Structure 1
Amino acid sequence: MGHQPGKSSLNLQTGTAVVFQILLLTHTWTGQSAVKDLPQTITAMVGDDVLLPCLLKPPKDASLMTVEWGKLDLRHKFVHVWHEGQEHGQRNERASLSASKLKHGDASLKLSEVRFSDGGRYRCYFPKDRREYFVELFVGSVSSPEIRLAGLDEASSGVMLDCSSGTWWPEPELLWLDAEGHVLSAGPTETTRGSDGLLAVSSRVTVQKSPNNTITCRIHQKDLKQSRETHVHVPDDFFVVRSSCSVSISFSVLFCCLFLVSASVLVWRQRHLFSAAKKKETTKTIEEQRELMRVEQELLDALKAQMREDLRELEKKLTIQMMAAQNDADEFNKIKDFQEETDTDTETDTDTETETKQNVNKKIKTGLDFKLKEIVMEHNAQLGERKKGYQEIQLDLQKMISGKKENQNQVE
């Protein structure tokens, strides 16, 4: 069979581990007759870092020695092992030794973030010198109390307060104090145990009205020499005043009356505001109508003035045209008179000439009549167009006034 380096290395490591465990068991067994010192007691709070002391006497370099830290109530006993400059068999990641301190014989064990379950007796053992040191770790827990309002005690005109703590260990004492530091009489303290073994306490007290009304809840643990307290100020309004049934009824009736009066005042005020707003809107509408009527009157006056001016212009034109027609008529009469004189002096006129003169006279008269008729028709047409324009302007004004009135009716 060929040689297998990996398998041989694994067998070597396994054999070394077995031998190391046998040595530890041998050292533990032989340590029963080791030199013992009186145990030291170390107190730590939950969450703190703590140092469990272990010093060789006389001091010497222990960096290459074997140091065993164990806890007597643990199943596997060992918490931390240092063997020939290396850590072995470490079962607690929060436990550590200082290599630099070991060179001076200091094998103190550091525990980080102490838990309540870390409490108990620890053993520091040096197998080579067969020396062991014991340390008693006492783990305590403290927390600040909290005060809450539990209710009002109408029978005594007092205020009920509850005080409760977080986790404590060992069991603390709960006290109620007034502003002068005097202990108040309170109900029994209730204690509850959590799943982690820590304790919580609570108590209730009924306080009466005082000049200060400042109440203190204090929690004290004498073994740990630790105290925590919380203060609260109770306002005067929280304290109820005793009253008879008649007084209560009177207050109720008075309250109802005040409520009705307030409601009436509120309704009256709302109506007054609405009336004032409506009146203001009406006044505004009337003013707008007046302004519109004034503008309309001004437009009508302007139209009348324009119509009068146009009539004057037309009359002037008509007069000029009439004068021209009169001039034509005068000319016609002159021609007629001249023809009559000619007829008297000349007797040799033929029938043809007479007919020609009559035709000329007829044409002249017809032309004058047609010209006068044309002037009158043109004058009438211009008057009709202007009258139609004035009627359209008046119709637009009436539409504007009607629209304004409809808007006013919608607002009302």
Structure 2
Amino acid sequence: MEILWFWSQASNVVHLYREQQEFYGWQMKQFQNRTQLIRDDIIDGSVTLRLHRVVPADQGLYGCRFLSSDFTGEATWELEVAGLGSDPHISIEGFKEGGIQLRCHSNGWYPKPQAQWRDHHGRCLPPETENITEDVQGLFSLETSVVVQEGAHSNVSCSIQNHLLGQKKEFVVHIADVFLPGTSPWKRAFLGTLVGLPLLLALLMMLVLYFFRKQRKSQEKLKKQAERDKGKREERWAFHSHLVTE
């Protein structure tokens, strides 16, 4: 008995079972250490080949050929590979263009996924940027960003869909009005401070100059008074000395 699994054509061996032995040396390199033959029902004419760690490069036409002394048969099928990636993650990048910039990231998708931003009413939000990259295994990572403006607050969602599987993954973040630069009382207070700060500094400088000049005049006045007092004492001493001499 011989059971041969092949890829595209019979010479591309995926797994070979012959006379109760498995011939791993015949396998294509890309399938080595990844196949497992399940023979629980081989007496009934049914066997299963399990392929581990499936990657996009595995998709294509496969066949199974069965040979025995009294039966010969072959079947082929098309293998399509699809991967549902990781859960999306949304990060708040900061203020930009009068709104808040959000960034959504997910990886491990196949084929190329599609991303969609929506507000709390379910309306689509146009993405600011979108970038899809492919890793060495052929899986795709997606990163997209959006700037949420005033009025698009509350729940904002980022959904990433695999159209081949008809499935998607979604992440929802809540953006409160207080964080939007157009409505934030903190920003208004900050802007008010920025506007009033130069006036406050100018007023403080004027007060400092006023007190400095006042103190300087007071010191000069005290100095002149001290000089006058010293002169009077010298005059009295000279007059007293003259009287004593006479």
Aligned-partner SS, 1:117: helix
TM score, norm. by length of structure 1: 0.41
2:90 to 140, 147, 155: 147
Is 1:86 matched with 2:21? yes
What's the CA shift string for 1:222-262, capped at 9, x where partnerless?
Answer: 1111201111122433211386x994544436998xxxxxx
| 2:144 is equivalent to residue 208 of structure 1 | no
Report the equivalent of 2:132: 191
Ranges in structure 2 where 5+ consecutive residues have no aligned partner: 202-246
1:124 aligns with 2:59: no
The one-letter code of the counterpart of 2:42 is L
Cα distance between partner residues in 2 of 1:192 and 1:170:
11
RMSD, aligned CA: 3.0
Structure having the higher strand fraction is 2
Aligned residues: 189
Q: Equivalents in 1 of 2:105, 2:194: separation in Å?
A: 39
Amino acid aligned to 1:175 = Q
CA 1:163–1:136: 2 relative to 1, 3 Å:
same
C-alpha separation in 2, matches of 1:142 and 1:255: 59
Please tell me whether Structure 1 or Structure 2 has the larger radius of gyration of its CA atoms. 1
**Equivalent position of 1:363 in the other structure:** none
1:370 maps to what in 2?
none
1:226 pairs, out of 164, 167, 177, with: 167
Distance in 1 separating the partners of 2:152 and 2:80? 44
Distance 1:211 1:136, change over 3 A: closer
Q: Specify the alignment match of 2:42 in structure 1.
A: 102
Relative to structure 1, is the Cα distance of residues 246 and 194 closer, same or farther in structure 2, using a 3 angstrom cutoff? Answer: closer
The CA deviation string for residues 22-52 of structure 1, in whole angstroms up to 9 with x for no partner, is xxxxxxxxxxxxxxxxxxxxxxxxxxxxxxx
State the secondary structure of the residue aligned to 1:189: strand
Distance 1:197 1:255 in 2: 61
Identity within the alignment, %: 28
CA contact (8 A) 1:67 1:107 kept: no
TM-score computed with the length of structure 2 as normaliser? 0.66
Distance 1:106 1:251, change over 3 A: farther
Q: Would the aligned equivalents of 2:89 and 2:106 in 1 still touch at CA under 8 Å?
A: yes
Relative to 1, partners in 2 of residues 1:234 and 1:246: Cα closer, same or farther, differing over 3 Å?
A: closer
Equivalent residue letter for 1:136: E
Instruction: Please state how far the C-alpha of 1:108 moved relative to its aligned partner.
Output: 2.5
SS at match of 1:166: strand
- Note if 1:66 corresponds to 2:2: yes
Select the structure with the greater relative contact order (CA < 8 A; seq sep ≥ 6). 2
- CA drift of 1:93 comes to 2.7
